[in-house]
C-alpha cells in the first residue's frame, strides 16, 4: 500500500481519539486488519459519524500515514442496526468481533473472514435464537482459523461417536487440550487422574487457568500441569448432537424451520453448554482470553431468562 488506496471493510473496534476523532480497527478484504483514524467522526455533523460506528461495512478511501492511516471518505454498504436493539445481540456481535480480531492478519487479504463475519452478524441480528447463532458462528470462525475441534470421532480411539438421544444418561467427554471428544471409558483407562468424578465447566471457571501451568507462590517456578486428559467436560447426547451439526452451513436456520423446540429452555441450556466448551477451546488454542466472555455469561445465564433490552 502507498499513497491513497481503496478498501472494503467492517469496523470491528472503535475508540475515541483526540477531541473529535475515532480510531478504527477495520477488517478489510484487500489488506486484512488495519488501524486508521476517522478525523472529526465524533462531531455532530460529520459525514464519517455513522460510518465509523461498530459493525458498519464501508467502501473506504484511505490515505496512508507515517504511523496511522486516515479515512478521508466512506460509503456505507451494510450495517446491522438490530444488534443495538438488544443487549444480548450486541454482546454476541462484540464476542464474534473479538474472535475475528484474534485470528485476522495484517497486510494479507481476508476475504473469507470478512464474508463469514458479515453472514453471521446478519444471522445474529435477525434470528430469535441468538445464543444458537453465536455458537454456530464461533464454530465456523474456529474452522476458518484451522483449529476445529474433533467432534465426530473420539480423539483417542478414532471411533465414530453417535449420540444416543433416547438415553438421558448418555455422556461423552470433551477435552479442550486433546482437541475434542473423548470416550469416558478410554479416558479412565488412559489417565488415573481422570477417573475422579467429572464436572461441567462452571460459568465463572477459567479454562486458561486450568489448562496452563500453575504457580505455587509469587516468584516461584511454574508447576507442570497434569496430563491433558484430566480436563474434561461432560456433554449429554443432545449437546453432542448439536455440536456435531455446527459444521453444516445452515444448521441453526434449518432447525428453526423444522422445529421451534430449539427456542425452548432445554435447548437453551444445551446451547449454553456448547458455547462454553467452544469458548474455553478457543481461549486455549488461540492462547488468549476472550474479554467479552463475561458479558456472554451476564446475558445468557440463566439461559432461559429473557434477553435484557436497553
Give the closest residue to 31 by CA, choosing from 66, 55, 5. Answer: 5
Q: Residue 41 pLDDT more than 60?
A: yes
Give the closest residue to 277 by CA, choosing from 190, 188, 149, 102. Answer: 149
User: What is the arithmetic mean of pLDDT over 27-39?
Assistant: 97
Per-residue pLDDT band at 189 (split at 50, 70, 90): low
Q: CB of 51 within 8 A of CB of 42? A: no
Q: What pLDDT score does 231 carry?
A: 66
Is the peptide bond between 302 and the residue preceding it cis, with omega within 30 degrees of 0?
A: yes
Spatial separation of the C-alpha atoms in residues 272 and 256, rounded to whole Å: 17
User: What is the arithmetic mean of pLDDT over 100-122?
Assistant: 97
Give the closest residue to 8 by CA, choosing from 30, 25, 23. Answer: 30
Q: What pLDDT score does 185 carry?
A: 86
φ/ψ of residue 32, rounded to 5: 70, -140
Q: Which of 33-37, 177-181, 189-193, 234-238 has the lowest average pLDDT?
A: 189-193
Q: What pLDDT score does 229 carry?
A: 40
Q: Residue 228 pLDDT more than 80?
A: no
User: What is the arithmetic mean of pLDDT over 114-142?
Assistant: 97
CA distances from 126 to 85, 140, 270, 271, 277 (A): 11, 18, 21, 18, 25
pTM: 0.83
Spatial separation of the C-alpha atoms in residues 18 and 139, rounded to whole Å: 38
Q: Residue 51 pLDDT more than 80?
A: yes
Cα 101 from chain centroid (whole Å): 10
In the chain the first and final C-alpha atoms are separated, in Å, by 42
**All domains in the chain, ordered by first residue:** 4-79 (2.40.50.140), 86-310 (1.20.1440.120)
Spatial separation of the C-alpha atoms in residues 189 and 178, rounded to whole Å: 15
- Residue 257 host element (H or E): helix 251-258
User: What is the arithmetic mean of pLDDT over 18-31?
Assistant: 96
Place of cell 485470528: 103
Q: Residue 232 pLDDT more than 90?
A: no
Amino acid at each position: 500500500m502507498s499513497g491513497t488506496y481503496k478498501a472494503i471493510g467492517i469496523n470491528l473496534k472503535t475508540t475515541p481519539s483526540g477531541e473529535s476523532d475515532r480510531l478504527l480497527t477495520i477488517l478489510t478484504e484487500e489488506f486484512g486488519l488495519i488501524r486508521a483514524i476517522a478525523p472529526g467522526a465524533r462531531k455532530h455533523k460529520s459525514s464519517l459519524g455513522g460510518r465509523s460506528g461498530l459493525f458498519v461495512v464501508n467502501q473506504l478511501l484511505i490515505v496512508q500515514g507515517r504511523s496511522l492511516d486516515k479515512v478521508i471518505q466512506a460509503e456505507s454498504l451494510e450495517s446491522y442496526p438490530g444488534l443495538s436493539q438488544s443487549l444480548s445481540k450486541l454482546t454476541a456481535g462484540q464476542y464474534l468481533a473479538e474472535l475475528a480480531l484474534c485470528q485476522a492478519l495484517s497486510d494479507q487479504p481476508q476475504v473469507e473472514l470478512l464474508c463469514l463475519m458479515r453472514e453471521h452478524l446478519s444471522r445474529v441480528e435477525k434470528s430469535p435464537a441468538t445464543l444458537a447463532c453465536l455458537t454456530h458462528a464461533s464454530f465456523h470462525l474456529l474452522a476458518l482459523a484451522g483449529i476445529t475441534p474433533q467432534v465426530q470421532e473420539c480423539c483417542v480411539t478414532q471411533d465414530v461417536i453417535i449420540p444416543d438421544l433416547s438415553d438421558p444418561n448418555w455422556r461423552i467427554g470433551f477435552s479442550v487440550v486433546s482437541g475434542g471428544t473423548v470416550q469416558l471409558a478410554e479416558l479412565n483407562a488412559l489417565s488415573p487422574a481422570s477417573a475422579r468424578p467429572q464436572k461441567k465447566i462452571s460459568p465463572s471457571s477459567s479454562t486458561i487457568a486450568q489448562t496452563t501451568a500453575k504457580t505455587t507462590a509469587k516468584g516461584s517456578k511454574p508447576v507442570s500441569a497434569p496430563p491433558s486428559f484430566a480436563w474434561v467436560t461432560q456433554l449429554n447426547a443432545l449437546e453432542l448432537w448439536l455440536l456435531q451439526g455446527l459444521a453444516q452451513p445452515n444448521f441453526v436456520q434449518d432447525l428453526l424451520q423444522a422445529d421451534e423446540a430449539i427456542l425452548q429452555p432445554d435447548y437453551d441450556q444445551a446451547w449454553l453448554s456448547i458455547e462454553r466448551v467452544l469458548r474455553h477451546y478457543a481461549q486455549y488454542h488461540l492462547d488468549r482470553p476472550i474479554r467479552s466472555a463475561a458479558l456472554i455469561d451476564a446475558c445468557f445465564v440463566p439461559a432461559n431468562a429473557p434477553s435484557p433490552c436497553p
